[in-house]
Amino acid sequence: MKDLKYIFSYMRPYRRDLMTAVLLVFAECVFEMIIPLLMSDIVDIGVVNHDLGFMLMQGGRMVLCAVLALVMGLMYARFAARAANGFGAELRLAEYKKLQEYDFSNLDRFSTPSLVTRLTTDVTIMQNAVNGGLRPLVRSPVMLFMGIGMAFILDRDLALVFVIAAPLLGAVLGLIVHKVGPLYNRQQRAVDHVNARVQENLTAMRAIKAFVREERESERFDEVNRELADSSVETFRHAVLNLPVFQLIMYTTVICIMWSGGSFILEGSMTVGELTAFLSYVLQVMNSMMMISNVFLMITRSLASAKRIREVLEERPALSEPAEPIKDIASGSVDFEGVSFKYFEKAKKYALSDINLHIPAGSTVGIIGGTGSAKSTLVQLIPRLYDAAEGRVLVGGRDVRDYDIKALRDAVGIVLQKNVLFSGTIRENLLWGNPDASEEELSRVLEISCADEFMDRMQKGLDTDLGQGGVNVSGGQKQRLCIARTLLKKPKILIFDDSTSAVDTATESRIRHALAELKDVTKIIIAQRVSSVIESDMIVIMDDGRIHAVGKHKELLETDEIYREIYESQMKGGDEHGKSI
């Protein structure tokens, strides 16, 4: 329930709409309740006295009340729609804003599909809860209290039946809601299991078909499917008890009233009309309690979504900004001083341990190492995508934690391994690097990244639409565009995280030589191929999260076992350098 309170606080900007809507429903409800009173006058006074004028007048009043209720209802619809949709939009925006503050480690904690669900489906569910719950939530208490009030006015003694029946009904319905809440959670987990299995199946459909695993997959699905069916039965079995329980108590009450009411009539202390009216109030009170319990059940179902949204909103960005951030990055030198790092605080193993490295400004550094040797992790500490657990990372002679994060990231251009282009034109994508870039600058970076050669072949050149996720270009072309985009930032430090793996060696070597012209820029290149790093001022060999060796190509070839092994595996057959891809 705390989650709900938290989530509903995002209703605040639309509080006025919400309050208006509540008032309008209240008024609508009151007008509706007046109608039966006017009606009884038509019969008891108009018909009995054969007063046609009175009857028409009362009838006119009834129509007036109905029309007023209608007007209230129509206006309510407008305000409620505004409040519900505004609330949904507000939640979505809050989540999206929060997401922009997330750091890499926050993003690692949530998976992409889970974040998407939290921003889309979960918000819709909350919005629908407001939209569907508001009206009954206001009407039921109004009808409840007015019903009880009327009953007491009619016959105080008989109304005492409420004193027993209403709390009893409330208690039982409360008990059911209480029992069903945790069951819904269990059912939700079963739903998650089904979804996970389906997701896995759809993602791997080719592998499943290739290995003829369809039947086994169906069997595996059957497990989670059955789990969901069973837990749903268990949940709903309890949830639907509210209806018979409600009827049982309501019917009992009605019988009691018939009995004692009948006796009162026999005694002469009550009239027939009064008994009929009284009974209709009893029904109204019970009905409204039933509605309240339904609303509660409905809210219980939205709890899971509320919880998931709250988790997004309450996630704290992993990195903190310094009190007096420095915006000027003096030079492109990089130092690692006794740096250790792990992705999760609770992880047993450090991803990086005891890294000490000095990279002078303007130099070219190659990093190679086996799969999982933490090459990417190492370079991601430089633009402060993560913070070191121990030790310091320095850029331009200062701890990265002293800089303004935006300034630091502008100065450090990193071409990520898992890179993406966004829907839009090539130009729009490139301008991410610098929104004010001139045509000359654009053509210059395209030239350096060797993207100019295929740009001519594009139908509309720079204005070619890339499609969602950049589907209209090949892997190698995509990588070159990503490089161009980063170059446009004019960074002091340029990091390539295996960024040319799909580019052929000849083009790659041309890119490398063009980059060498950028004298002031520190270039850090992670590569699989020895040929990509062979000319570097310094080659760093990573092994299992540690720096195994540092040196130039020749030195390493003589002194380092791992380097020699990598070199030979790629240069097999005694070819010249760079011909082995």
Partner 1 sequence: MARVFSGKRPENLKRTLKDLVSYIGRHRILMLFVAVLAAISAGANLLGTYMIRPIVNSVTDGSGFSGLIRGVMTAVLIYVVGALSTLGYTQIMVRAAQKILYDIRRDLFDHLQKLSISYFDKNKKGDLMSLFTNDMDTLSDALNNSFSTLIQSFVQTVGTLILLFILNTKLTFLVIIGYGAMFFYIRYSMSRSKYYFAKQQTRLGDLDGYIEEMVAGQKVIKVFNHENANLKTFEEKNKDLRSAGTSALSYSATMIPAVVSIAYINYAIIAIVGGLMVIRGSSDIGSLASYLVFARQSAMPINQLTQQGNFILASLAGAERIFEAMNEEPETDEGTVELVNVREQADGSLIPCKEKTGKWAWTDKGRSGDTDSYKSDKTDAGEGAGELIPLRGYVRFEHVSFGYDPGKDILKDISLYAKPGQKVAFVGSTGAGKTTITNLINRFYDITSGSITYDGIDLKRIKKNDLRRSLGIVLQDTHLFTGTVADNIRFGKPDASPEEIERATRIANADSFITRLPHGYDTEVTGDGANLSQGQRQLLAIARAAVADPPVLILDEATSSVDTRTEKLIEKGMDALMKGRTVFVIAHRLSTVRNADVIIVLEHGRIVERGNHDELIAQKGEYYQLYHGMFELS
Residues 224-263 that bind partner 1 (CB under 8 A): 225-226, 228-230, 232-233, 236-237, 240-241, 243-244, 247-248, 251-252, 254-255, 258-259, 262-263
Q: Which helix (H) or strand (E) holds 539?
A: strand 538-543
Within positions 399 to 418, which residues make up the interface with partner 1, using CB under 8 A? Answer: 406, 409-410, 414, 416, 418
Within positions 110 to 169, which residues make up the interface with partner 1, using CB under 8 A? Answer: 111-112, 115-116, 119-121, 124-125, 127-129, 131-133, 135
Position 266, amino acid: L
Q: How many CB atoms lie within 10 A of CB 120?
A: 12
Selected from 1, 19, 81, 164, the binder of partner 1 by CB under 8 A is 81
Q: Cβ of residue 410: shortest distance to partner 1, in angstroms?
A: 6
Residue 330: closest CA among 435, 400, 433: 400
Within positions 190 to 219, which residues make up the interface with partner 1, using CB under 8 A? Answer: 191, 194-218
- Measured from the CB atom, the residue of 461 and 469 that comes closer to partner 1 is 469
- Measured from the CB atom, the residue of 356 and 422 that comes closer to partner 1 is 422
Q: Cβ of residue 368: shortest distance to partner 1, in angstroms?
A: 8
Contact in structure between 134 and 302 (CB atoms under 8 Å): no
Q: Cβ of residue 105: shortest distance to partner 1, in angstroms?
A: 11
Which range, of 106-114, 150-158, 323-331, 437-445, touches partner 1 by CB under 8 A?
A: 106-114
Q: Which helix (H) or strand (E) holds 524?
A: strand 522-526
Answer yes or no whether residue 269 interacts with partner 1 by CB under 8 A: no
- Measured from the CB atom, the residue of 10 and 76 that comes closer to partner 1 is 76
Selected from 30, 33, 55, 318, the binder of partner 1 by CB under 8 A is 55
Q: Which helix (H) or strand (E) holds 352?
A: strand 352-359
SS3 for 295?
A: helix
Within positions 303 to 362, which residues make up the interface with partner 1, using CB under 8 A? Answer: none
CA dist 202 and 191 (Å) reads 17
DSSP per position, 461-504: GGG-B--TTSTTS-HHHHHHHHHHHHHTT--SEEEEESTTTTS-
Selected from 9, 272, 323, 346, the binder of partner 1 by CB under 8 A is 272
Position 330, amino acid: A
CA of residue 564 relative to chain centroid, distance: 48
Selected from 1, 19, 74, 516, the binder of partner 1 by CB under 8 A is 74
Q: Cβ of residue 141: shortest distance to partner 1, in angstroms?
A: 18
CA dist 88 and 107 (Å) reads 23
Which range, of 3-11, 147-155, 370-378, 517-525, touches partner 1 by CB under 8 A?
A: 370-378
Cβ burial, residue 510 (10 Å; 0-12/13-18/19+) = middle
As a three-state string, the secondary structure of 34-47 is HHHHHHHHHHHHHH
- Measured from the CB atom, the residue of 26 and 432 that comes closer to partner 1 is 432
Answer yes or no whether residue 457 interacts with partner 1 by CB under 8 A: no
- Measured from the CB atom, the residue of 225 and 425 that comes closer to partner 1 is 225
If you search the block for the tokens 């350098």, which residue do you land on?
577
- Measured from the CB atom, the residue of 175 and 337 that comes closer to partner 1 is 175
Which range, of 220-228, 325-333, 337-345, 517-525, touches partner 1 by CB under 8 A?
A: 220-228
User: What tokens were used for 81?
Assistant: 């729609």
Q: Cβ of residue 438: shortest distance to partner 1, in angstroms?
A: 19
- Measured from the CB atom, the residue of 339 and 430 that comes closer to partner 1 is 430
Q: Cβ of residue 247: shortest distance to partner 1, in angstroms?
A: 5
CA of residue 261 relative to chain centroid, distance: 58
Q: Is 424 left (phi over 0), alpha (psi -120 to 50) or beta?
A: left
Q: Which helix (H) or strand (E) holds 189?
A: helix 156-203
Residue 185 dihedral angles phi and psi, to the nearest 5°: -60, -45
Selected from 176, 378, 442, 566, the binder of partner 1 by CB under 8 A is 566
CA dist 331 and 341 (Å) reads 24
Position 271, amino acid: T
Draw the binding track, 502-541, toward partner 1 (x: CB under 8 A; -: no contact).
xxxxxx-x------------------xxx-----------
Within positions 461 to 480, which residues make up the interface with partner 1, using CB under 8 A? Answer: 468-469, 474-476
Contact in structure between 91 and 12 (CB atoms under 8 Å): no
Within positions 378 to 397, which residues make up the interface with partner 1, using CB under 8 A? Answer: 383, 385
Selected from 53, 435, 438, 517, the binder of partner 1 by CB under 8 A is 435
Answer yes or no whether residue 364 interacts with partner 1 by CB under 8 A: no
Contact in structure between 393 and 381 (CB atoms under 8 Å): yes
Q: Which residues 6+ apart lie within 8 Å of 247 measured at CB?
A: none
Number of residues that bind partner 1 (CB under 8 A): 173
